[in-house]
């Protein structure tokens, strides 16, 4: 059974959220009511060419767990920012050719990039930190992030949750400053999905572990370390730093395309 079919058939228990890691910082979320969204799906090898131009090896180390065409079954496409490993023109072009029409949720710079791909403006909901988008029983809250450089200053993260249910926080690409945990802590996330790639000025494993402790999350999951030879590291370094922070038991490591449900249950 393909991953797309698995996602369609998967029943999420009441009061839970299920997610599938697509690689890099890409995810699919599904709610008990069957509403589904994807965040930052990078499902091609398009970064290999732009990486080579900059002198980096950005060839995929593993194949995508899902074809872009399978995204047409989802209810919402969400972007954190405009970098190609998050907003991938090839993934979205194949999605659109297969009949995908969005809607899209994106911050200003990513919204502008989507429009250059021919996506109608009326299909793109612009977002910013503090804004909430409701998708059936799913609440998607846009949160603060600190960008890599001045070519896109509108990076954001997202909190995906259920009313009176779990909240899962995806950092997006962000650096660490004290304002980051201070801005997120009042939202009380249960699960942290955090980038751990300091080579490109994002959170490193030690900073991500400190963030997990300050937010007092129940589960801490690393991402954005797995796809590119020149932007990868062992996720066990994050686990080591969680242990140093005194919360090593909260570490989880996801596999591409394998369902993870929170609160954790036997399915």
What's the structural domain count of the chain? 1
In a domain, 264, yes or no: no
* Buried b / exposed e along 23-52 (16+ C-beta atoms within 10 A): bbbbbbbbbbeebbbbbbbbbbebbeeebe
Contacting residues for 123 by C-beta, under 8 A, at least 6 apart: 101, 102, 103, 104
State residue 150's pLDDT score.
Answer: 83
Residue 216 has pLDDT above 90, yes or no: yes
170 within some domain: yes
| Residue 259 domain-assigned (yes or no) | no
* Structural domain that includes position 157: 3-254
Q: Which pair of tokens denotes residue 231?
A: 């932007």
Question: What percent of the chain clears pLDDT 70, i.e. is strictly above it?
Answer: 99
Mean confidence (pLDDT) of the chain = 96
Q: 105 pairs with which residues across the strands? A: 78, 125
Q: For residue range 149-193, what is the model confidence (pLDDT) as tens digits?
A: 788 899 999 999 999 899 999 999 999 999 999 999 999 999 999
pLDDT reading at 267 higher than 80: no
* Domain assignment of residue 262, yes or no: no
What is the CATH classification number for the domain harbouring 70? 3.60.15.10
Residue range 82-103: mean pLDDT, rounded = 97
- Is 10 contained in some domain? yes
Euclidean distance between CA atoms 49 and 102, whole angstroms: 27
Does 162 reside within a domain?
yes
Judged against a pLDDT cut of 90, whether residue 265 lies above it is answered with no
**Does the residue 267 lie in any domain?**
no
**Is 265 a member of any domain?**
no
pTM passes above 0.85: yes
Q: What is the pLDDT at residue 253?
A: 98
């Amino acid at each position: 059974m393909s991953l797309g079919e698995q996602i369609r058939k998967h029943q999420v228990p009441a009061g839970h959220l299920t997610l599938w890691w697509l690689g890099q910082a890409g995810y699919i979320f599904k709610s008990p009511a069957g509403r589904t969204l994807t965040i930052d799906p990078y499902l091609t090898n398009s970064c290999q060419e732009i990486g080579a131009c900059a002198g980096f090896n950005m060839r995929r180390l593993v194949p995508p767990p899902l074809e872009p065409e399978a995204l047409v079954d989802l209810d919402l496409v969400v972007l954190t920012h405009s970098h190609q490993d998050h907003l991938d023109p090839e993934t979205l072009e194949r999605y659109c050719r297969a009949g995908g029409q969005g809607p899209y949720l994106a911050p200003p710079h990513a919204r502008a990039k989507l429009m250059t791909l021919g996506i109608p403006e009326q299909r793109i909901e612009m977002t910013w930190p503090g804004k909430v988008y409701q998708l059936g029983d799913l609440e998607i809250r846009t949160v603060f992030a600190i960008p890599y450089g001045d070519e896109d200053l509108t990076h954001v993260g997202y909190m995906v949750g259920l009313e009176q249910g779990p909240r899962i926080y995806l950092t997006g690409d962000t650096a660490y400053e004290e304002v980051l945990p201070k801005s997120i802590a009042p939202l009380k996330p249960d699960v942290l999905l955090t980038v751990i790639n300091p080579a490109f000025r994002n959170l490193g494993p030690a900073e991500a572990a400190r963030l997990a402790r300050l937010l007092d999350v129940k589960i801490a999951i690393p991402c954005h370390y797995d796809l590119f030879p020149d932007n990868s590291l062992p996720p066990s370094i994050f686990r080591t730093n969680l242990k140093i922070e005194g919360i090593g038991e909260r570490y989880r490591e996801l596999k591409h395309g394998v369902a993870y449900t929170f609160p954790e249950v036997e399915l």
